[in-house]
Amino acid sequence: MSAEATNPVSAAEAAVTDTGVRRRGRARLELRRIGRAALLGATAGPAPRDRLPDAISHVAEAHRAHHPEADLSVLRRAYVLAESSHRGQFRKSGEPYITHPLAVTLILAELGAETVTLTASLLHDTVEDTEVTLDQVRREFGDEVAYLVDGVTKVEKIDYGAAAEPETFRKMLVATGDDVRVMSIKLADRLHNMRTLGVMRPEKQARIAKVTRDVLIPLAERLGVQALKTELEDLVFAILHPEEYETTRALIAEATGSGSPDALAAVAEHVGTVLREADIAAEVLVRPRHFVSVHRVRLKRGELRGCDFGRLLVLVAEDADCYAVLGELHTCFTPLISEFKDFIAAPKFNLYQSLHTAIAAPDGAVAEVLIRTHRMHKVAEAGVVALGSPHGTAPDQAEPAEGPETAEDGERTDPTRPGWLARLLDWQESAPDPDTFWSSLRADLAEDHEITVFRADAGTLGLPAGSTCVDAAYAQHGEAAHACLGARVNGRLAPLSTVLADGDTVQLLLAQDSHSGPSPQWLDHARTPAARIAITAWLQAHPEAAAQPAAAPRAPLSVAADRSSGAELHADLDGAPPAPVRPAGCCTPVPPDTITGFRVRGGSVTAHRTGCPAVDVMHRLGRAVVPVRWGDAAHCRVTLVAESFGRPGLLADLTEAIATAGAEVVSATVEPPNEQRVRHTYTLQLTDAAELPNLMRAMRDVPGVYDVGRTHRL
């Protein structure tokens, strides 16, 4: 039996009802009337087979409003089983227990859930709280209903103890991975329990409200069920922040009082006139903000104005009409461009589609406007509940519900499965400890925005906002990301700590060394539970890596340079005494580079590669150009810089590659690692300058090296 069940009307519920903020079409259950009907059904015998019991008639009416051809006989059978099995059980409020599954089912029926979901909703507590078995449900109602009932059935506290709650949520989430209707039933169940939470002890109310805030409300947001999410937010707000709630309630009551002018209604009338004159068929509604939304606007803007207590909702028939409405509004009113958002061209990850804008009326009133089609509005309110069965056409529907496309194999593509839910299901397998799972789940759900980044192989990754290259590595490669050396973001090298933005292109660079692993510092950059769990597990399995102290700054490792001459250089000095010519250290030219010479202090001449920044500097200083040319000798000296990611044995591998290419190391400098990147500078003597491209190619092929180039600095 649900522990949250208490009295029929909470203080928060009464306040919401009194102010008229709740949506139209979602009337509260009259629990006492239904309770009496349930008791009458228990004493007067079962209802005749040709009609529904009186207690379920309101559910049937709401269901038929969305599915006129629905077969209600299965609902009758489900109600009879639920009522008989719960008979004699009462809620803490004294109502017959059957009023709870009836209320939950009505919530889902009003949102447009199909018959299978409503059947499972009527039976959702039978296996948990009565003698009815899951096999019995399966025999009488089929595998689909049995799966949904099992998905929302709590695990036995006697088996799991304190871990019962997190393990119950784990079970529900895994079941939701195959059928999102499991979580739809759970959300409706929690909404009714929150509505009737008033007689619980204050500490228990607070505990339930915190779990609702941290887990259920974010899940409702991700599933797109805004109708449930907003009411849950208000009920949690009333329990956890009673003073702010009362302040907000008073502001709403004052603004919506009988003597208060309705500024938003005036703007709505003006907007309706504009659209009629433009011959655009549209329905313009005033959509009151719920309590939490008003509270957020007050914190953002300070003093509230008349239009701040709601928004305008414009409903049209087709997608193109949405943009036609937008054009008229931006033409006839002054738009606030900073408030414009197009969630039709780029839908949110929770299926939400709408155009958002804000306009200023001639009298200065600023109103926010939502523009969407009737189908978009249904999905925005009910989310996945409006999509019906994710496995194809529902038994009571002539065709699949509008929303996601149907795959070639006949199964509906569930839009929530490839994104946040898939990631959640992946990382939960690596979190066997209930505490780790519970804390990671709350942290994951706390990220209420999602970004899409593009992979180098043309695929995409969906990540929570604020994710870094570390998170992208584990999202793409799993445990193979332990060997990640770095990343290129939008074509440029970036540290693993780089925070990714929506639309970035990410190329992850992995070491070929299978023994490579993450450093403890990666935990500072990991945002997703999958990355944090994988890194923590590796560090626990390799304590020597976790215990290794951070590298202290150290002086560059150097090998003294041999100042022997390189390739021959000659200068044409027009009869002046000959002067020594040497290659410039800033660009280290080698044959057959095109070169330009300049005199420097001491009378010598330096030769620069054409295009070296120093050449422009010399010209600006008025230095005369000295013609220089290469001699016949093929040998040369060149300075190369290798950029790489730090790993054991890298220096040895680089010097081996240089030696194999036939070059001699004149000097070498290795700078201290910076964010796992290491810079190597080599001055090399080549017997033949023509071998330079092959040498640079051999150095780039060393694992961990991502770039090799000639020095080019002032």
Residues classed as catalytic? 128-129
Helices (H) and strands (E) in the chain, counts: 29, 22
Closest CA to 123 of 141, 96, 143: 141
User: What is the spatial distance between Cα 272 and Cα 463, in angstroms, rounded to a whole number?
Assistant: 40
User: What is the spatial distance between Cα 104 and Cα 111, in angstroms, rounded to a whole number?
Assistant: 11
DSSP character at residue 190: H
Crossing angle of the two packed helices 73-86 and 115-122, in degrees rounded to 10: 10
User: What is the spatial distance between Cα 191 and Cα 209, in angstroms, rounded to a whole number?
Assistant: 11
- Angular region, 503: left φ>0, alpha ψ -120 to 50, beta rest: left
* CA end-to-end distance (rounded Å), the chain: 77
- For residues 625 and 596, is the Cβ–Cβ distance under 8 A? yes
Closest CA to 433 of 515, 526, 343, 529: 529
Produce one character per residue of 53-86: b if its CB has 16 or more CB atoms within 10 Å, e if not. Answer: bbbbebbbebbeebbeebebebbbbbbbbbbbbb
| 494: enclosing H helix or E strand | strand 492-494
- For residues 333 and 390, is the Cβ–Cβ distance under 8 A? no
Q: Is 73 helix (H, G, I), strand (E, B) or coil?
A: helix
- Compute how many other C-beta atoms are within 10 angstroms of the C-beta atom of residue 345: 9
| 372: enclosing H helix or E strand | strand 366-373
User: What is the spatial distance between Cα 492 and Cα 501, in angstroms, rounded to a whole number?
Assistant: 14
Spatial neighbors of 58 by CB under 8 A, at least 6 apart, are 29, 34, 106
Query: What is the 3 state secondary structure string of 619-687?
Result: HHCCCCEECEEECCCCCEEEEEEEEEECCCCHHHHHHHHHHHCCCEEEEEEECCCECCEEEEEEEEEEC
- For residues 383 and 351, is the Cβ–Cβ distance under 8 A? yes
Report the half-sphere exposure of 369 (CA within 13 A, side-chain side): 34
- For residues 114 and 26, is the Cβ–Cβ distance under 8 A? no
Query: What are phi and psi for residue 159, nearest 5 degrees?
Result: -90, -35
Rg (alpha carbons) of the chain, rounded to whole number: 35
- For residues 129 and 154, is the Cβ–Cβ distance under 8 A? no
Produce one character per residue of 316-334: b if its CB has 16 or more CB atoms within 10 Å, e if not. Answer: beeeebbbbbbebbeebbe
